Amino acid sequence: MFAFITIAFLCFDFAHLVNASGSISTDSNNTCTLRVLKKGEGCFLYKVEAGNFSIPVYYYLPNQLQANTKVVFAMHGEKRNAEDYRNDWRNIYNRLGSDNQNFILLAPQFKQKRYPLATGYNLGNMFTEDLKILNPRNQWAFTQIENIFDFVKRSTKVNATNYYLYGHSAGAQFVHRMVIFMPHAHIKKAIAAEAGSYTIPDEHKDYPCGFNKQTGEQLPSVDLKPTFSTPMTIILGTKDNKPLSDEHDTYKCDVQQGSNRLTRGEYFYTQVKNIANNKKEDFQWTLKKVTAAHIVAKTNPSIEDPMLVSCAAKEFFPLLTGVNCK
């Protein structure tokens, strides 16, 4: 059976990787090849159906696929350093000496060229850069997560029917908005760690801080029932209690949500919980505070605090040992 799976890795659905002329888009990454999803670590190019370009996806594939093999996405921050996020998750398991690595890890890289600025990535590419025109759903960055998941399932023959979604910083902005605006996505559980700002499903607050759209096309209709019932954990670092500089407050949400990442995350969770309770909806979101910072100080390049990844892994894999999340 595993021989068949190995052959399937090599005999790939190349229509998603190669454009009509048989060449790779100029967006291809030198570390990514067509020989994708081999055992261990690597990078493949996912051909975006709604455009003539590819998204690099850094991955880890276990030596053997089992019936209960899970699929985990790790969403990078504003530096778009997807490979580092793949490595951060791998380092956690290597440090713990854990042999419980029965999961496929996927870290897609949303490059500035195709998904520019906060509009293109943090907000999921739902709108054009001026926030006036609503892009077709097949162009949303959120949609590509669903498409990559389907692609990997077909390629590996893994039996997973849903996936785990982790995001840090700008990636946390991406994750919580995907849960809100794509409530029927195949997300088993989501984690948003240390977002800089949030979208609150409140029609009295201006988008992207809320649901009130003053100019241009309006937000797509959202069914909040499945949004609130999608399990999601908001992870906040108690060390992130210092105000951010003005350049980080892209959409001026700080005035509404708080002066630092910790207070903004607390405010977001409280507001959304109140909305869900008032609507009498099943609310499956949780708030978790850990003794961590947004990033590790004095590192070059800057990296996310390893405790954030450890605690996220513990949320996804409750039987994981050796993790301190206090």
Return the CATH number at 120. Answer: 3.40.50.1820
Is the pLDDT assigned to residue 48 strictly greater than 80? yes
What does the DSSP assignment read for 6-59? Answer: HHHHHS--GGGTS-TTS---TT--TT--SS-S-SEEEEEEEEPTTSS-EEEEEE
pLDDT class for 248, splitting at 50, 70, 90? Answer: low
Of 112-121, 182-191, 296-305, least confident by mean pLDDT is 296-305
List CB contacts of 183: < 8 A, sequence separation 6 or more. Answer: 222, 223, 224, 225, 226, 227, 230
Q: What is the pLDDT of residue 14?
A: 32
Of 37-41, 147-151, 205-209, least confident by mean pLDDT is 37-41
pLDDT class for 36, splitting at 50, 70, 90? Answer: low
Establish if 39 belongs to a structural domain.
no
Establish if 195 belongs to a structural domain.
yes
Establish if 290 belongs to a structural domain.
yes
Q: What is the pLDDT of residue 264?
A: 94
Q: Which residues pair with 73 in a beta bridge?
A: 106, 165
The mean per-residue pLDDT over the stretch 130-142 comes to 97
Measured CA to CA in angstroms, residue 70 lies from 74, 125, 158 at distances of 13, 27, 9
- Residues 233, 137, 111, 91, CA torsion sign: positive
Residue 74 host element (H or E) = strand 70-75
Q: Could you report the per-residue pLDDT of 118-132, keeping only the tens digit for each?
A: 999 999 999 999 999
Q: What is the pLDDT of residue 199?
A: 97
pLDDT class for 251, splitting at 50, 70, 90? Answer: confident
Separation of first and last alpha carbons in the chain: 43
The mean per-residue pLDDT over the stretch 109-121 comes to 97
How many structural domains compose the chain? Answer: 1
> Cα 242 to the chain's mean position, in Å?
25
Range of the domain at 129: 63-99+111-316
Q: What is the pLDDT of residue 231?
A: 98
List CB contacts of 142: < 8 A, sequence separation 6 or more. Answer: 124, 125, 126, 174, 177, 178, 181, 182, 185
Is the pLDDT assigned to residue 238 strictly greater than 60? yes
Of 23-32, 149-158, 206-215, 279-288, least confident by mean pLDDT is 23-32
Of 184-193, 232-241, 280-289, least confident by mean pLDDT is 232-241
- Of all residues in the chain, the percent with pLDDT exceeding 90 is 65
The average confidence (pLDDT) of the chain is: 86
Q: What is the pLDDT of residue 256?
A: 82
Q: Could you report the per-residue pLDDT of 65-89, keeping only the tens digit for each?
A: 888 899 999 999 999 999 999 999 9
Residue 148 host element (H or E) = helix 141-156
Establish if 308 belongs to a structural domain.
yes
Q: What is the pLDDT of residue 283?
A: 98
Q: What is the pLDDT of residue 321?
A: 82
Establish if 4 belongs to a structural domain.
no
Is the pLDDT assigned to residue 93 strictly greater than 90? no
Neighbours of 289 (CB within 10 A): 16
Establish if 18 belongs to a structural domain.
no
Higher pLDDT, 276 or 30: 276
d(CA 7, CA 2) in angstroms, rounded, equals 9
For the chain, how many helices (H) and strands (E)? 9, 8
Is the pLDDT assigned to residue 304 strictly greater than 90? no
Two tokens, residue 252: 């001026």
d(CA 35, CA 44) in angstroms, rounded, equals 7
Establish if 302 belongs to a structural domain.
yes
Establish if 9 belongs to a structural domain.
no
